Structure 1
């Protein structure tokens, strides 16, 4: 019940529990409201591992916790509490809230008799998704053991009572947030820690209890066994990857493995917990949001956990079957806000070109064509808006007239660029499946060019940047609007859906000028040729315009590959790692965005960076002496190895390469590398070389006909 590093409103965090000792043994002297009960913790007591967390509060109470799949087990040690020397009567409080304090209503029932050695608190609440529409209901079942119960009851605001044992609470008068919950107090002194087992379910309270009882059986909850099981589960997820560090410092290795961990927190497997429809297909949630995930995080799962990635794709298609649309964002079983195009299209086609199995590709084609052709009433939460203009005018206009549906009428530049890539992906799957719509969607994939305005200058603090030609908004009548190319960049104001909505989303026109994943060579031409293109990239990354903490920038790091300068891509990756991505407290340049920042780090470290929706990985030297990844499906191990590697990263330029012992000159490679377990050896040096620089060595680009949308089986 947590989403990691997503930004926006705090997500989930439902039904927190909190240990206290009430001064003077009076339950009304405990601090129940969130602001009142806040307690410092001792920094050097924090211990965090996959599946385990521990901390000691400033008052001496120690809490540690572990997990199963649908439940958690908490252990509270009051023996060193700084009041009563362990003889006081400890209280455990449950709060009917979530991190956002979005609760609309909730109910609770306390089943804990005086003198009993165990107790149970059950209930549910209705909450709001943190970045979406509607609401969701979550149920909980909390079992307590480890001492003799002194009393129990409910609390409201800052007062508690032992009667009644049930409570129903709404949002409160005039949306005032009423704080409330339940408590159980134990008779001191305790002989050991209090154990608290929390089960949750989106289906029912009974299922929440059943989940907990099945996964963490009582009465003697096996805390250490759960910690071991969680560690084993994570070790199994990590097991496809191995590295030979080659003298690289521990901090880089911690950064690498922590990033692997963060890529695997979302989407979350809610199979069996879908309250909306019944299906035999997998159900995953917390696609939060696919705009953030499709570029690097989901492609990383494709190489290290293709079995799960196939299930994710099947879940997306099952959502289409039952809701009528592929989700662009989904959390807490609710529809999330669409940020740009129909990004699930890119995910499905990426799975196809990498030959993931067990997926109904005819259904996938139907789903992405639905995105391309049909406009929903609420395109703010699904599908694409402005399709009438898209088909008639070949771009999304500034201040579009769109009577067919409604959404935030902004982002005309970024949506035009994203729709173009969406349609390229539709064309890719259409051609592969033998559909006659291939040329139609390939033609629509060129629409991005209609918003390029040659000659437009860009000034920064009154100084001419020296570069001209940027994407600009265009009205329905074909005349140009204007958005300052630096608007929405780190040098100006951040632009989102709700704050400062603009014609580019979360990035500037400077950044979006490079977002044409399927036709970078055409971008190079429009921006003035190779030399100007490279100078423009250099200026972008060194002037403060580049926002490395947001996803649209990722591809720009590797664009020099398209003009035969892979060494510049390696330089740029090293300029950001480890300076902006490292193991320090401030080791992320922004929100992790469901593992997006983590995956950017990982692909750079591995030395192969994807252009998803296409069977392309850009090659740079790994940040370790070698990296190996074993494919779950073929059980074959792919290895990329550096020769002449030095841990100080002076040798970051590829001089030559061999693939399975044979010379290899292309500066990119396909997914066959991972699926078939090939070995790529890179000989490194301290200066750029001629490797990967010839026309035949460059990645495919639509306008020059280099394998534009050809798909070959990779297994």
Structure 2
């Protein structure tokens, strides 16, 4: 599978074949760009490294800040080449597929130069780009070939120079962020010192986080110098800077310089840590032994780590493009979050620490369930890291970066980490202290909008009412496990307050503000009481009719927003109340809402259109932001014929797009095979489930418990070209306790 990965998928604006059928009716409001990068990464590792142009939001590419429509290009100098990629060097700690997350990394820019230090920061054209999991390479138009690989907490650069009398490798420690307004990250404090020839170390404090590096360079005959404000510091071995402000910042760093013969290689090895230079050096030694050069060894070790992860899932298809899309989606699903055990800079104890949870509402539906299946021990590590953040900082994070204080992202979601904890609890995975977890889950439910929910029975933005009600339902599982039955009963009642979010006259959410969407996008999410949700909408027939309208059945094709769409155009698009395809994460689970009304055939049609029309090969192969693997992991699950209902420990079964697949689950290997399968095409017939068996026993329901599937076994799905009666009679489970009198009062009073 590793040889099929194309890390360039998603780095450019969306470029897919013209949509047809249902897909042509879906309107995409969010940026039509994947926002991925092709840089070197390690599976769930701390470090990434890539060419840096200042492009939004990863530092790679040609695009400026964008929030809707096609992304605009970065402004370039008059003599800049308007086509092709540009780079001013190579940086570390990139985001992966995110949209706006306020701040950006791209620390420690390394630039191979033949030019004077005065021009540091200018762009060079880059060509001959190459990328595979764990490796990135490009040639600058000054003739230098750059190659980068990474380990879990390190990066190794290798530069091949042309003949030149004064070549150099320059490390800029002052640089971070993006080339967009307010996109720079200014270090607050910094120190840098030469330790011995070929060895230096330093630390910068950025957004309150101390980021240290230990750096080694094997250009033994070259001069090693510190520099400040693009001027060399002859004889200087140490640089200390305190109280840096945007108005006082001057570039600073270190440099190796000397004559190069044609084809000469220079290797730069960097260890990183958030706990000082000694730990950064230890991390480098752990990732790269003392032998020099280390590049090829580190590259192969990282490749093997990726091979182990990517070969875990096996698929059978004769379509090599589809194999590439699937392999790349799996790759993108395993880049984030960044696991950095024993690296928290904010508390002294050892243990799990995770950053770049960017962001929970992007990943809780699909990426975290995939992580739980493929690497359950990592899922438990993530859960413990999130609980430690809550213990130390006061809340379970919705977004968490390498910065002091978690990002709260108050408008987007509440209580979403509870879904991961509920899944782990229901699966019985080892390694959790559930009494400790329950304390923090309870505390988090009361933060910010949680008090409104308790006092009024609802909270605005109204989508938080759904989040919090589900958070209480998830926490109820943990309370039951630790035998706090009174608390479990209390939370059962609080979980019924989801109904306060809806207007019974329309069957949709009440008027409120909605982040990146409308009431329609948030009204069809899968809840814990879908039976009650459908009853509120007027029953199965009415609910299916609402879904059909939402998914564009019988609707005309739409025109997607272009470059810099106007407010009237966007308002008209939102007024459609239409499914946004996989361009927007609130819609990720909506296609499966049909299951709860007995219409799995409709889901098959919608999912078929998404899989085969909204994902493709090439740099424009994604329909929108990959969102830290949230979008890609959706594709992985949907292609395999399963959809995890996060927090509810069930999987919905639908037609797979591969004849055969196998994947590890938390406790065993699951194989998914089919009969009646034909290789699908965008305009070809939809396949519908006719019958299902598991380990030879018929499955008459459209769902299976996660506990059962995670044990592994053989799932056989019989397919046909016409809808069947399978899955229509018995619906997926709904949680429906009777509301308490107090909740009944709050329902009547909620506006």
Quickly name the TM-score band, shorter chain normalised. 0.7 to 0.9
| Corresponding residue number in structure 2 for 1:363 | 436
Residues 458 and 501, structure 2, Cα contact 8 Å, conserved in 1:
yes
Taking the aligned partners of 2:193 and 2:249, their CA distance within structure 1 comes to: 22
Query: What pairs up with 1:132-211 in 2 under 5 angstroms?
Result: 135-150=208-223, 152-156=225-229, 158-162=230-234, 164-169=236-241, 175=247, 178-189=250-261, 192-211=264-283
Change (3 A) 1:662 1:291: same
| Corresponding residue number in structure 1 for 2:689 | 654
Q: What do residues 397-436 of structure 1 show as CA deviations (whole Å, max 9, x unaligned)?
A: xxxxxxxxxxxxxx42111121111111122332344321
| Corresponding residue number in structure 2 for 1:701 | 734
Measured after TM superposition, the shift of residue 521 of structure 1 is 2.1
Residues 154 and 165, structure 1, Cα contact 8 Å, conserved in 2:
no
Secondary structure, counterpart of 1:412 in structure 2: coil
Kindly indicate whether residue 720 of structure 2 is the aligned counterpart of residue 685 of structure 1.
Answer: yes
Taking the aligned partners of 2:544 and 2:621, their CA distance within structure 1 comes to: 28
Taking the aligned partners of 1:659 and 1:221, their CA distance within structure 2 comes to: 52
Number of aligned residues: 608
| Corresponding residue number in structure 2 for 1:510 | 520
Residues 288 and 331, structure 1, Cα contact 8 Å, conserved in 2:
yes
TM-score (norm 1): 0.80
Kindly indicate whether residue 607 of structure 2 is the aligned counterpart of residue 557 of structure 1.
Answer: no
Kindly indicate whether residue 164 of structure 2 is the aligned counterpart of residue 87 of structure 1.
Answer: yes
| Corresponding residue number in structure 2 for 1:675 | 710
Q: What do residues 276-302 of structure 1 show as CA deviations (whole Å, max 9, x unaligned)?
A: 223353222222222222111111111
Taking the aligned partners of 1:671 and 1:173, their CA distance within structure 2 comes to: 52
Secondary structure, counterpart of 2:192 in structure 1: strand
| Corresponding residue number in structure 1 for 2:289 | 217
| Corresponding residue number in structure 2 for 1:337 | 408
Measured after TM superposition, the shift of residue 65 of structure 1 is 1.1
Secondary structure, counterpart of 2:104 in structure 1: coil
Kindly indicate whether residue 601 of structure 2 is the aligned counterpart of residue 530 of structure 1.
Answer: no
| Corresponding residue number in structure 2 for 1:40 | 125
Secondary structure, counterpart of 1:444 in structure 2: helix
Residues 202 and 277, structure 2, Cα contact 8 Å, conserved in 1:
yes
| Corresponding residue number in structure 2 for 1:423 | 472
Change (3 A) 1:448 1:177: farther
Measured after TM superposition, the shift of residue 328 of structure 1 is 2.6
Taking the aligned partners of 2:335 and 2:273, their CA distance within structure 1 comes to: 18
Query: What pairs up with 1:47-446 in 2 under 5 angstroms?
Result: 47-79=130-162, 86-96=163-173, 97-100=175-178, 101-109=184-192, 111=194, 118-128=197-207, 135-150=208-223, 152-156=225-229, 158-162=230-234, 164-169=236-241, 175=247, 178-189=250-261, 192-218=264-290, 220-245=292-317, 247=318, 249-334=319-404, 335-338=406-409, 339-372=412-445, 374=446, 384-396=447-459, 411-434=460-483, 435-446=485-496
Change (3 A) 1:668 1:174: closer
Q: What do residues 78-116 of structure 1 show as CA deviations (whole Å, max 9, x unaligned)?
A: 13xxxxxx1332111111222342123343435388xxx
Query: What pairs up with 1:528-607 in 2 under 5 angstroms?
Result: 528-542=538-552, 543=576, 545-547=578-580, 548-607=582-641
Taking the aligned partners of 1:415 and 1:175, their CA distance within structure 2 comes to: 40
Taking the aligned partners of 2:139 and 2:577, their CA distance within structure 1 comes to: 41
Secondary structure, counterpart of 2:613 in structure 1: coil
Measured after TM superposition, the shift of residue 609 of structure 1 is 0.3
Taking the aligned partners of 1:107 and 1:451, their CA distance within structure 2 comes to: 49
Residues 225 and 234, structure 2, Cα contact 8 Å, conserved in 1:
yes
Taking the aligned partners of 1:430 and 1:546, their CA distance within structure 2 comes to: 36
Measured after TM superposition, the shift of residue 310 of structure 1 is 1.5
Measured after TM superposition, the shift of residue 395 of structure 1 is 0.9
Aligned-residue Cα RMSD (Å) equals: 2.3
| Corresponding residue number in structure 2 for 1:399 | none
Higher RCO, 1 vs 2 (CA within 8 Å, ≥6 residues apart) = 2
Residues 201 and 207, structure 1, Cα contact 8 Å, conserved in 2:
yes
Taking the aligned partners of 1:177 and 1:653, their CA distance within structure 2 comes to: 62
* Aligned counterpart for 1:470 among listed residues 505, 508, 512: 508
Q: Which moved more, 1:55-64 or 1:541-550?
A: 541-550
Taking the aligned partners of 2:515 and 2:455, their CA distance within structure 1 comes to: 23
Taking the aligned partners of 2:736 and 2:615, their CA distance within structure 1 comes to: 35
Secondary structure, counterpart of 2:431 in structure 1: coil
Residues 417 and 515, structure 1, Cα contact 8 Å, conserved in 2:
no
Whichever of the two has the greater Rg, that structure is: 1
Q: Which runs of 5+ in 2 are unaligned?
A: 1-92, 179-183, 553-575, 739-751
Taking the aligned partners of 1:148 and 1:176, their CA distance within structure 2 comes to: 35
Q: Which moved more, 1:277-286 or 1:306-315?
A: 277-286
| Corresponding residue number in structure 1 for 2:43 | none
Secondary structure, counterpart of 2:260 in structure 1: coil
| Corresponding residue number in structure 1 for 2:99 | 7
Taking the aligned partners of 1:424 and 1:284, their CA distance within structure 2 comes to: 26
